[in-house]
Amino acid sequence: MNHPTTNAAFPNSSEGEARTVHIREVGPRDGFQNEPETIATDDKIRLINALGRAGLKRIEVASFVRPDVIPQLADGVAVLQGIDVPDDVARMVLVPNSRGLDNALTHRDLFEEVALFVSASETHNKRNINRTVQETMDDVRQMGKRIVDEGLTYCAVVATSFGCPFEGAVPMDRVLDLAEQFAESGATEIGFGDTTGMCNPSYASRFFAAAVARLPEVEITAHFHNTRGQGLANAYAALEAGCRSFESSFGELGGCPVPAGSTGNIATEDLVSMFHEMGVDTGLDLYVLIEAARDAQSTLGRKLTSHSIVAGPVIWSPSV
C-alpha cells in the first residue's frame, strides 16, 4: 500500500544522525488485560494480525496466569494458535512463576520469547503476585535457566522502576541491582516499567544513562505509561540517554488499578509518529498502526486516548 510521505520532508529532522529503535507492541497482553468487557478471541486475533502487518517484529501476545486472576487472558493459547503473523515476528508470553512457565512450555512451539517480572517495590510485588521480591528472584534463577535451555529468548521486566504508589520513591540502585540479577540468570533484555506513570523526563534521562552504562551487554528497554501525560517526553529522554528499545500499546491501551483512572501505556502510533518526525527509523508503517488502533477503538466501543487516532500522521508533502 502506498502512503503519502510523512516525514521525509520534515524541515527540522536531524540529518546525518541515523538512529534506529526497536518497538515491542504490548497491547494484546498488557492492554487487553485491563479491559473490563470480554474481548472475543476472533477480535484479538484480527487485531494482532493487523499489528503484524504494520511491520512489528516483537509482539507480546499472551500471559500464562491463572484464568480466575485475569479472565480476559484465559484464551491465550487459542489466540497464539489462531494468529497469522509473518515468520520474523517474535511472539512473547509473560509468566508470573514456575507453575506459569510449566503451563507455557507445554505450548513451546507457539512463541519465541518469555518475559519474567518483578516489582522493585516490595509492597507492589506483594500485592501484584503475593510474593516478596526475594521469593520472586529466587524463582527467577530457576526459571531463567529453563528458558535458556529451551532455546527461547529470555526477557525481564522490573515494574515500578520509577516510583511506587505505596512506597513512593524507589532507589535507582535497587532497580539496577534487580536488573543485574536478571542478567546473571540469563536475561538478554531488561525492561524498566513506569507502572503508574510516576517518571519525569529529567529522571528518565539520568536513569537510562545509568542503566546503559551498568548493563552494557543487555538490551535496555523503556516501558512508559502516560498516566500524567509525560510518556512521550520520557521516551524522548530515554532515547537521548542511549536507550534504543521501547514498549508501547496501540491505542494507548492498558492502565493500572492505582492510581484510579490511570491511562495506559504510551500509544504505539504516537511513539512512532514522534520518532519518524525526528528522523528515527522504526521500520513500521504508521498508517497501518493507526488503522489497527482505530479498529481496536471500534471493537471496544469506546474512545481511546491515542492522539494519532484522531490527527493521523503528519503529512509534509505538498497538497494537490
Which residue type, as a one-letter code, is found at position 50? Answer: A
Contact 122, 132 (CB under 8 A): yes
Q: Which three cell numbers stand for residue 57?
A: 517484529
* Phi and psi based region of residue 198 (left: phi greater than 0; alpha: psi -120 to 50; beta: remaining): alpha
Q: 171 preceded by cis ω (within 30°)?
A: no
The residues that bridge with 223 in the sheet, in sequence order, are 193, 247
Residues in the chain: 320
> For this structure, is 256 an active site residue?
yes
What CA–CA distance (Å, rounded) separates 172 from 199? Answer: 12
Catalytic residue among 155, 164, 243, 256: 256
A 10 A CB-CB count for 108 gives: 12
Catalytic residue numbers read 256
